[in-house]
A and B are shown apart, each in its own frame.
Chain A
Amino acid sequence: MKDIKFSVKSNLAIADNIFRMELKTSAKLPQIMCGQFLNLEVVGHDDLILRRPFCICDFGADWVSVVYAVLGKGTTALSKLKTGTNINALLPLGNGFVLDKKYTKIAIIGGGLGVAPLLSISKCYLDKEYKKYLGFASKKSVILEKEFGIATTITTDDGSYGIKGYPTTALENDIIGGYKPDIILTCGSHNMMGAVAKLATKYNIPALASTEERMACGIGACLVCVCKVNGRYARVCADGPVFDIRGLAL
C-alpha cells in the first residue's frame, strides 16, 4: 500500500445520485486485487477529518475508478471535484476476492452500489466462466450494466428495468434450472447478502462477501471498523473487507 497522488480525470453522475470518479496518476501503482479498496482524501475540506473508503471499482496501469453515492458532507464535497484536482488516496487496502484455482464457474451477485467491487473480478481472473446477477431499486439506479458485459442479468425491485424482483431469486431460478456455480461472490445490502448466505447454505455453495463499516485509518491500526466474524470482532479494513459469508452475522 502507498499514499498516492492522483488527479481527477473525470467525475460524473452515472445514475440517480451516484457518481463515478476516475483518478489517474504518474506514480507507479502497486498491484491491485479485485475487491480491495482505497482511502480517499476529501480535498479542500479541512473540517472533514477522515478519509473516505471506497472499493476500487476498476483500474488500469495508471488509473483507478470509484463509484459512490452522494450521502453526506464528504461525498457531496467529492461530487463537486473538478477534472484536474489533485487528490491523495491510500491504496490498495484490505483483502480482495482471492479465489482458489479449483473454482471455475463463478456466480457474481451484487445489489445497488454493491455491484462496484464486483466489476473487476473478471479482469483479475480471466480463465473463469461467469454469470452475473445485479439488482437495483429501479431503472434510475441501474449502474455499470454495460461494463459487466455479457451473461449479466439485471433485476429491479419495482420491475422498471430487467426482471422484476431480486438478484438472489434470479440466481436461485438458474440453480433450480441446473446451474451449479463453484462459488458465489457478492456485495450489497445486509438483506441481500443475508439472502445470498441462505442460498449458499441451501445449495452448499461457498460464498465470499464484501462488507463495509465506518472506518478511520483503513490499514488495521485503529480498530474502529470492526464487524463480527465467527462471533468475534474482525477489522473490516485489514481482515476484510471480503470474508467467507458463513462467518458473517447477516
Chain B
Amino acid sequence: MKKNTINTSITIAGVTFKNPIIAASGTFGFGREYSKLYDISTLGGFCTKGLTVEPREGNAPPRIAETYMGILNSVGLQNPGIDAFVRDELPFLSRLDTIRIANVAGNTKEEYIEIVKRVSQASLSHCEERNDEAISRKKPIDMIELNISCPNVAAGGMSFGVCPTSVESIVSAVRPYAKLPMIVKLTPNVANIAENARAAENAGADAISLINTIAGMAVNYKTRKPILARGFGGLSGPAVKPIALKMTHDCYKAVKIPIIGMGGITTAEDIMEFMLCGATAVQIGTANFSNPNICFSLVKDLTNILKECNINDVREVIGALEA
C-alpha cells in the first residue's frame, strides 16, 4: 500500500488544526456527549455551546422544527454561565488533543467584554496552575468565537452583527481583552456580508466564521400557530448550503483573514466546495443530528477525496475556485 502522505492540517491565526473539520457551536455541547461515541481528538476542533457571563435559561420549547432539507432552531443560548463552565468543563477540555474554541455571547457590549475577558483568563490561568511543562503549554481553550449572529435572543446576539458599523464597534471593543485568537461569527441576515467581514477584519478579528443560521419560520396550518414557541428561529442544514457557499466566496474576495465556512455541510464533497470558495476550515453543525458520527467519518472521507483528486495538501484547495 502506498504511504499516506496527504497533509490535511491547516493553520488559522497561528493555531494549527489537524484537519479543517470543526464541529459547530450549539450542536456539540462542550464535547462530552460526542466523546462517548468517538475520539473527538481526531477532529480539527470544535466550538462550544454559546457561553455568557451569567447562566441562561434559553427559550421555551418547542425549540426545533424540521423543514425541507433543514431545521429551524430556537434554543436561545441556554448555557450554565462562565463560572460553571470553568468549574465543570475546563478539566475535561484540557485533556483533549484538538482545538477547542469557546463560542461567546452577551446582551451588551460590557457583557461581551466580560465574557471574552473571563474566557481568556480562565484558559491562561488554567495552564499556569499546572507545573507540568507538557500540560502548561496546552491551554484548555485555544480560540474564541465571538457570536454576534445568534438570531434567537431578544437582546445582543445578532443585533450587534447586522450593520458593518456595529460589527466594527463590538469587535474593536472586545479585541483588547481577547488574549486568545478571536474568530468573529457572522450572520447571513444582512444586506452585504462582505462589508461585515471587512468591518470585523478592520476591527482586529483574526478570522471570521460564517454563516450562522438564516432567520426563518415554520407554521402549522391546522393550529394556525408557529411551530416554534418563540415564533421563529434560525434555519440550518443542506437547504442553506448554496447561500453559505456564495457568502463564503463573497467574504473571501473581501478580506485577507482566514474564513471558516459552514452551512449545510454533510459530505467531504461539500467541504471541498467550501474550501474552493475560500474557506480555510469548515464547521459541521446540523449534520451531527442526522449522523452522530459524521464529523469522525468526514475526517477519513476528506483524505480519501483528496487522494482521488491527486491533491497532496489540503491547503492547495483554499480559494482555488476558477472563474
Contact = CB atoms under 8 A, between A and B. Distances in A.
Interface of A: 1-3, 39, 41, 46-51, 74, 88, 90, 213-227, 232-233, 238
Contacts of B288: 217, 221
A227 B229 CA distance: 13
Contacts of B68: 47
A51 B237 CA distance: 13
Interface stretch (B7-15, B33-41, B181-189): B33-41
B319 interface: no
Main secondary structure of the interface of A (DSSP, over half): loop
Given A74-B66, A223-B58, A233-B58, 15 more contacts: A1-B36, A3-B37, A46-B238, A50-B289, A50-B290, A88-B291, A213-B62, A214-B62, A214-B65, A221-B29, A221-B288, A222-B26, A223-B49, A232-B57, A233-B57
A217 B291 CA distance: 9
Contact of A49 (B28, B33, B36, B286): B286
B213 interface: no
Interface of B: 26-29, 33-34, 36-37, 49, 57-58, 61-66, 68-71, 73, 75, 78, 237-238, 286, 288-293
Given A49-B290, A51-B290, A217 B33 contact: yes
Given A3-B292, A50-B71, A90-B292, A224 B237 contact: no
B69 A47 contact: yes
Contacts of B58: 223, 226, 233
Contact of B33 (A48, A51, A219): A219
Contacts of B237: 49
B129 to A, nearest CB: 28
A46 B57 CA distance: 33
7 contacts: A47-B68, A48-B66, A214-B61, A214-B64, A220-B33, A223-B26, A223-B29
A241 B66 CA distance: 21
A232 B237 CA distance: 29
A219 B29 CA distance: 10
B37 A224 contact: no
A222 B37 contact: no
A216 B71 CA distance: 9
Most chain B CB within a 10 A radius of its CB, from A39, A46, A214: A214
Contacts of A219: 33-34, 36-37, 292
Contacts of A49: 66, 69-71, 237-238, 286, 289-290
B78 A233 contact: yes
A90 B294 CA distance: 13
A217 B294 CA distance: 12
The 4 closest A-B pairs by CB, nearest first: A221-B29, A221-B33, A224-B64, A219-B33
A241 to B, nearest CB: 14
Residue among A41, A49, A218, A238 with max Cβ neighbours from chain B (10 Å): A49
Contacts of A88: 291
A213 B70 CA distance: 19
A29 to B, nearest CB: 16
A45 to B, nearest CB: 10
A1 B33 CA distance: 10
B27 A1 contact: no
B58 to A, nearest CB: 6
Contact of B289 (A213, A216, A223, A227): A216
